[in-house]
Amino acid sequence: MGNKHYSVRLHLRGVMRDAQMRCDTVELHTQGRMILDESENRVTLIYDEDESSGMQDSLTRLVLRDGCVDMCREGDCAVAMHFEKGKQFLSQYQTQHGALAVSVFTNRVLYRVDDRGGKIRLGYVISVENGPSTENTLSIDVQVS
Q: Do 66 and 40 contact (CB within 8 A), yes or no?
A: no
Q: 143: how many CB neighbours lie within 10 A of its CB?
A: 13
The CATH superfamily holding the domain 3-134 is Calycin beta-barrel core domain (2.40.128.20)
Length of the chain, in residues: 145
Widest distance between CA atoms in the chain: 50
pTM value is 0.89
Domain residue ranges of the chain, discontinuous segments joined by +: 3-134
Round the average pLDDT of the chain to a whole number and report it. 91
Dist CA 65 CA 58 (whole Å)? 23
Per-residue pLDDT reduced to its tens digit, 33-86? 999 998 889 999 999 876 655 556 689 999 999 999 999 999 877 889 999 999
The single-letter code of the amino acid at 28 is: L
